[in-house]
Structure 1
Amino acid sequence: MLRSTADHARAQQRLIAVTAAAVRREWDSIGSDFDGGWLRVGPRIVALMTAAQIGAARDGSAYVGQALAEQRITSTPSGAVNVSALTGAYSVDGQLVGDLDSTLYGAVVHARSGLAESLGDRLARGRSWLDMMTVTQVGDAGRAATGVGIAARPRIRYVRMVNPGCCQRCAVLAGKASKDIAFPRHPGCLCRAVPTGDGSTHGLVEAIEPGDVRDLTKAQRQAIADGADMNQVINSHRVYVSREGIYTPARNGMTTTEGTTRRGIAGKRLGAEPKGRAQRLSPEGVYATARNREEALVLLKQHGYLI
């Protein structure tokens, strides 16, 4: 890993931690009258978050040049990153969709929603939501500035750095290179972009191991322990966002359509018909079907998890 990348990641994490602690202190003083209390603490919380975004964006912009210099890559930017355009706003999946002032009132909404037996419980609900917002909104400002800084330089792309303790969605993107300015991420995502040129990306980021992925199922971990390719296992559990905003596993948990076209690994092995899809077992389906480990290994190979 580049020294500049490690330094940048630590600086961003410290900024987020300090900001989250300050936001919590303000929130905890709101009192039982949420609307009246928000008139007092809300502006201070917005100011704290905005200041942290400005710091994160400035650092994210400067980091691009530092990372390229460490790699001895020269690329003159066509312009400077406009930090003010990336701060004071609320983002969803990296897209700016509103202002922080109105959005952060969501802490009050969350505190009032759901079942809670005491004021302390309601404060905890709002505090948890603000923690997530701090991680996401401050982090997004830094990542957005890095993305703009990369896009402003010719022949520069980025490699995705994924932190241990990541989710499955991020794990399969670890180390992937992209020339797009877009940096797909979800609320609470801690991934970062490592700027680089068109050459080799070997050693830029650390590999993600199964133990680094926090939400693998028992069957997924067993399949990987039996020799299955981690990305194939994870892709079989690709998730969707329902109308209710809930992430749901593919199919019924036993089968999946991921990788089952004629060009997919599983599709080739299962004999998918032209313009059709084969029926592919998920790791859960494999272990529910197999009578012993030998059969499980055969099915893992047949369904494209062992390659």
Structure 2
Amino acid sequence: MLPDASADYYRKQQGITLELLAIASDIWGSRPPKDFDRWFASNVDMLMELALAGQARAIAGADVYVADVLDEIGVSIAADAVTAPDGLIGVASDGRALDTLMYGAVITSKGRIAKGLSTSQAWASGLDVLINRLQTQVADASRVSTSLSIATRRRVGYVRMLNPPSCSKCAVLAGKFYRYSTGFLRHPGCDCRHIPSTENMSGDMTTDVDSYFTSLSEDLQNKYFTKAGAQAIRDGADVNQVVNARRDMQTAQVFGRDLLTTTVGVSRRGVAYRAMSNAGYANRGTDVRSGGRFRARAPRLMPESIYQIAESRDDALRLLKLYGYLA
């Protein structure tokens, strides 16, 4: 169960972000200027003030938040040191200056014009970049300030909290306990957060990724898990296998066709290796469909490829099982 303190804190963080992005959108405007660089030079100070204020508000109260959550779950642990998160203000999470990061929105707009978009379309695409980068920097400042407070407490780590709808990569990471020193994996625009916890208490905050998937509409399932991936999950495939398989996705010649494959899970300890071994194909060739041989580390087909070559739904289910997506 999600602690009330986490839900309240996230709502406050979300409010800060929404207010920041609304002001940024007003500054950017919908009418493109004649000279993009001159516009940026005239408005960068205003954008910087906005970003700095957003980061400052986002990091405020992190120590109180961590203490409140630990109190709520019954494991109050005092901090061994005092945090100093002000150093997070004014710097992008990749180390760049914030003004340089925001200028990327102008670069994007200019690049889109070079590719043939209208000035209005290009300016709108620049706003999308600006919004994404501001949201990420405010969220990162909040996340890092929270992680600092977690690190000052013995035995305290964190559980990853989703803000649905969330992407497939975030969904399979959520609900697990991570040590204080484990980096918080995120993508641009990610709004997942920490729930402070100790390992023995983290089980009460697990996220059932299958329940999360079924809570989404079919359109959102297709959007966040890809159309083929979502269909495979609806057909009974393991969510984690479908999502993790995309880590090393590539195109390879299989059965004389260019198909999407992955090397995830094909080592001797991998799920795909075991499934293919059980089917009698381990340490053989590559053409499993025709009873040929495949190497132990041969790529496994992605769900997209399986649906592409399957001759029927029963054949698709057979192949999904063969490649380790179905139990």
- Indicate the TM-score class for this superposition, using the shorter chain for normalisation: 0.7 to 0.9
TM norm structure 1 = 0.87
Match of 2:75 among 73, 76, 94: 73
3-state DSSP of counterpart to 1:89: coil
Match of 2:265 among 251, 259, 262: 259
Number of equivalences = 294
Q: Is the 8 A contact 1:161 1:205 kept in 2?
A: no
Paired AA for residue 190 in structure 1 = D
Distance 1:193 1:32, change over 3 A: same
List per-residue Cα deviations over 1:17-40 (Å, max 9, x = no partner): 100111122222884333333233
Q: Tell me the residue number matched to 1:232.
A: 241
3-state DSSP of counterpart to 2:196: strand
Q: Is the 8 A contact 2:101 2:133 kept in 1?
A: no
Where do 1:140-159 residues align within 5 Å?
140-159=140-159
Q: Is the 8 A contact 1:262 1:273 kept in 2?
A: no
Distance 1:105 1:144, change over 3 A: same
Q: How far apart are the structure 2 equivalents of 1:276 and 1:294?
A: 25
Paired AA for residue 194 in structure 1 = I
Where do 1:13-92 residues align within 5 Å?
13-28=14-29, 31-92=33-94
List per-residue Cα deviations over 1:90-135 (Å, max 9, x = no partner): 114xxxx122133222222222222265543333122111110121
Deviation at 1:206, TM superposition (A): 4.2
Q: How far apart are the structure 2 equivalents of 1:9 and 1:187?
A: 18
3-state DSSP of counterpart to 1:158: strand
Larger RCO of the pair (alpha carbons < 8 Å, separation 6+): 1
Q: Tell me the residue number matched to 1:114.
A: 112
Deviation at 1:76, TM superposition (A): 1.7
Q: Which has the larger radius of gyration?
A: 2
Q: Tell me the residue number matched to 1:280.
A: 300
Where do 1:204-219 residues align within 5 Å?
204=205, 206-208=207-209, 209-210=212-213, 211=216, 213=221, 214-219=223-228
Q: Is the 8 A contact 2:160 2:192 kept in 1?
A: yes
Deviation at 1:79, TM superposition (A): 1.6
Q: How far apart are the structure 1 equivalents of 2:246 and 2:78?
A: 42
Q: Is the 8 A contact 1:236 1:250 kept in 2?
A: no
Q: How far apart are the structure 2 equivalents of 1:290 and 1:31?
A: 53
Deviation at 1:306, TM superposition (A): 1.4
Unmatched tracts of structure 2, length 5 or more: 253-258, 285-294
Where do 1:157-172 residues align within 5 Å?
157-172=157-172
Q: Is the 8 A contact 2:306 2:316 kept in 1?
A: yes
Paired AA for residue 314 in structure 2 = E
Q: How far apart are the structure 1 equivalents of 2:46 and 2:276?
A: 59
Q: Tell me the residue number matched to 2:256.
A: none
Unmatched tracts of structure 1, length 5 or more: 240-248
Percent of matched pairs sharing the same residue: 36
Deviation at 1:167, TM superposition (A): 1.9
Q: Does 1:221 align with 2:230?
A: yes
Which moves more between the two structures, 76-85 or 182-191?
Answer: 76-85
TM norm structure 2 = 0.82
Distance 1:103 1:222, change over 3 A: closer
Q: Is the 8 A contact 1:59 1:142 kept in 2?
A: no
Deviation at 1:194, TM superposition (A): 0.9
Deviation at 1:185, TM superposition (A): 0.8
Q: Tell me the residue number matched to 2:316.
A: 296
